Amino acid sequence: MTAIDQNVIDFTRVAPIDHVPGFRSEAPSQVTLRPGGSVSAMLLRLLGGCMVMASTGLWLMPDSGADPQMALIRIGVSVFLLFVGLCLLLQREMKLPPEFHFDAQRNELRIEEIRSDGRSVVLMRRSYASLGAARFSGKTLQILEGDGSVLIELPLEGRTTRKLLLSQLKPHLRIMS
């Protein structure tokens, strides 16, 4: 999860915000969050890497190549481990997690999902006025409804993301610790 924009392809240089007349420089115009990948996908990739290493490790054992029948079994096992390990390593998650956009220009929170054809679809759009409060606790941000129930909970990476969101949400929402 990064603070501003995760799309390196769309990176363009822009003029500093503090030179634009009539624009507040203390709050960023938009903060985008995409929660990190799933733990299960990370564990499957780790398992795939271990399988690839095990397929080559079978050939490093001493005195195991003397029997030709065992060498044939070892070839089959190592090819199987290599194939399954590469499949697990190269597997991509089919569905990207949604992006959370905190937009100061429109004073709204948007949750967008990128479809398989590359189109961005807005799943939810809420103005800051319709939200209750924001709670920063540890490494998470909770957006609360007016009645105190949790609308969303997002993991935060690093102090800069926390500071950016805090400076943007402070004028619009009640901040709870």
- DSSP symbols for 95-129: SPPPEEEEETTTTEEEEEEE-TTS-EEEEEEEEGG
165: left (phi over 0), alpha (psi -120 to 50) or beta: alpha
Q: What's the pLDDT band for 8 if we cut at 50, 70, 90?
A: very low
CB-CB contact of 116 with 86 (8 Å): no
Mean pLDDT along residues 70-98: 84
What's the confidence (pLDDT) of residue 7? 44
Q: Which residues does residue 122 pair with via DSSP β-bridges, in sequence order?
A: 112
* pTM (2 d.p.): 0.50
pLDDT exceeds 50 at position 147: yes
Per-residue pLDDT of 57-74, as tens digits, reads 888 877 666 778 888 888
Q: Which two tokens stand for residue 58?
A: 């079978």
pLDDT exceeds 70 at position 37: no
Rounded Cα distance between 113 and 96, Å, is 7
Give residue limits of the domains in the chain: 39-90, 97-170
What's the confidence (pLDDT) of residue 27? 46
Place of tokens 């959370």: 100
Q: Which two tokens stand for residue 30?
A: 């938009």
